[in-house]
Amino acid sequence: MITSGKGGVGKTTTSANLGAALAKRGHKVILIDTDIGLRNLDLVLGVEKRIVFDLVEVVEGRCQVRQALIKDKRFSSLWLLPAAQTREKESVSEVQMKQLVVDLAELADYVIIDCPAGIEHGFRNAIAGALEAIVVTTPEVSAIRDADRVVGKLTDAGIPLRLIVNRIRPEMVKTGDMMSVEDVCEILQAELLGAVPDDEEVIDSTNRGEPIVLDETNRLAAIYDKIARRLGGEIVPFTNLSAPGFIGRLFTLWKAG
């Protein structure tokens, strides 16, 4: 599951791009949007016009799960199970959610659960079927405090977690106006899965419904690919965000390794 506590830190963007990066590597991936009532993963993937059935209808037995899965046209092994837009999060129970994830795990190598913001019913549903968690946070005090709450809840639930630090602005880290990735990992006491720089192209890619990993010329494509490999257990060195061609500034975000 992809979670964060705080909203707007990039859970849905991460879900879409990580899913696409895994699919590009040939893995079968199912993305589940659990943000019932406020779905957005369909938009980020650009499949909003192709939704016929949704998660709630699957859970209520009104359609087969295969009927509700939307196959991405760009990646042959990526599917989306969209959330219902006009229902409430209480429409689905934790037990139903758990069963759904078990069923979907039969069909795919990876089931990625895009969690809603907050720690209410929607969060408890998303956590129900998850075997491991990715906590997305930005290097801001408020996001880290919320992430800390979520890390506590995941730990209580016995779910292992790794961290993606999103929207890093290296120039602000350098001037001391933003926390570094190391600071964030230190505060949250969590293992780093990936560090993603802030990129204006992400906003446009979301509006167009084309995950940024489709653009091979964008540096984020390589970064998400590395995250996908780490997720599969590979040991991949972290990208040095100060490498030439990035912002041209000489400083290091991470110590080697």
What is the C-alpha to C-alpha distance for residues 5 and 116, in angstroms, rounded to an integer? Answer: 8
**Taking contact as CB under 8 A, which single stretch among the options 81-89, 126-134, 235-243, 248-256 is the one that binds other proteins?**
81-89
122, 129, 170, 194: which one binds other proteins (CB under 8 A)? 122
Q: Is 12 in the site for other proteins (CB under 8 A)?
A: yes
Cβ closer to other proteins: 15 or 77? 15
- Which pair of structure tokens corresponds to residue 135? 């906590």
* Sheet containing 161-168: order of strands: 70-71, 78-81, 29-33, 110-114, 2-3, 133-137, 161-168, 191-197
3-state secondary structure of 203: helix
Q: Please compute Rg for the chain using Cα positions.
A: 18
Q: Is 156 in the site for other proteins (CB under 8 A)?
A: no
Q: Is 210 in the site for other proteins (CB under 8 A)?
A: no
Cβ closer to other proteins: 39 or 219? 39
Cβ closer to other proteins: 94 or 109? 94
Binding mask 35-74 for other proteins (x = CB under 8 A): --xx-x--xx---xx-------------------------
Give φ, ψ of 32 to 5 degrees: -115, 125
207, 243, 249, 251: which one binds other proteins (CB under 8 A)? 207
Cβ closer to other proteins: 77 or 166? 166
Distances (CA, A) of 19 to 11, 67, 87, 201: 12, 20, 25, 18
Q: Is 8 in the site for other proteins (CB under 8 A)?
A: yes
Give φ, ψ of 17 to 5 degrees: -75, -35
Q: Is 176 in the site for other proteins (CB under 8 A)?
A: yes
Q: Is 145 in the site for other proteins (CB under 8 A)?
A: yes
Which residues, including other chains, have CB under 8 Å from residue 245's CB and lie 6 or more apart? none
